[in-house]
Homo-oligomer: A and B are copies of this chain.
């Protein structure tokens, strides 16, 4: 069984888990705290990031892009359409929005929230810096504004078909939602899309996650939130 080194609230780890669940592949999860930069992790990945995919007799697959390509290459069941669409224009739009989420949304929102709420407390017993969280929240508002605009005319984020970009956005929003940082009431279009993706069986694995000492925000696991 494939083993995934991950952190429960790391959005790229969540993206990998959503893919495995969607493809019906069971995995062993190994929770680590990558920011502690422990020697065992640094030996496999000098960048000290997760996810890392490990399988018997294979070299480890390291990093977000490598892991998502490896899952797509190895695990799409014959009867299922993969999350990388075959239509070129839709695939281009998927990559554009995947990059938006993994780079821009992460850079402007997710990584600050996780750093302030999770990493700082674990490393130095510190509380979050309100000024940083305020900026992250304002930035998230801008991103949701754009996502609402997209979802006003699209069923899925890249078009008519669900793609990997939907899972990437859902992974990020689910981490932020666990921490109570998504203002759903002002984002009806994105909320409707999120309710739809949250109802998929693949999502259950994430909704059951709990982080020690950090309870999930109200509504995190509710399909009607």
CB pair B62–A96 under 8 Å, yes or no, is yes
Chain B neighbourhood of A99, CB < 8 A: 63-66
Q: How many residues of A contact B (CB 8 A)?
A: 29
CB pair A47–B104 under 8 Å, yes or no, is yes
Q: Which of B47, B63, B95 contacts A65 (CB 8 A)?
A: B95
CB distance from A170 to the nearest CB of B (A): 18
Residues of A in contact with B (beta carbons under 8 Å apart):
45-47, 58-59, 61-66, 69-70, 73, 88-89, 91-96, 98-100, 103-104, 107, 146
Q: Which 6 A-B pairs have the closest CB atoms?
A: A66-B95, A65-B95, A63-B96, A66-B92, A62-B96, A63-B99
Would you mind naming 5 contact pairs between A and B with Cβ atoms under 8 Å apart?
A: A61-B92, A61-B96, A66-B92, A69-B92, A69-B95
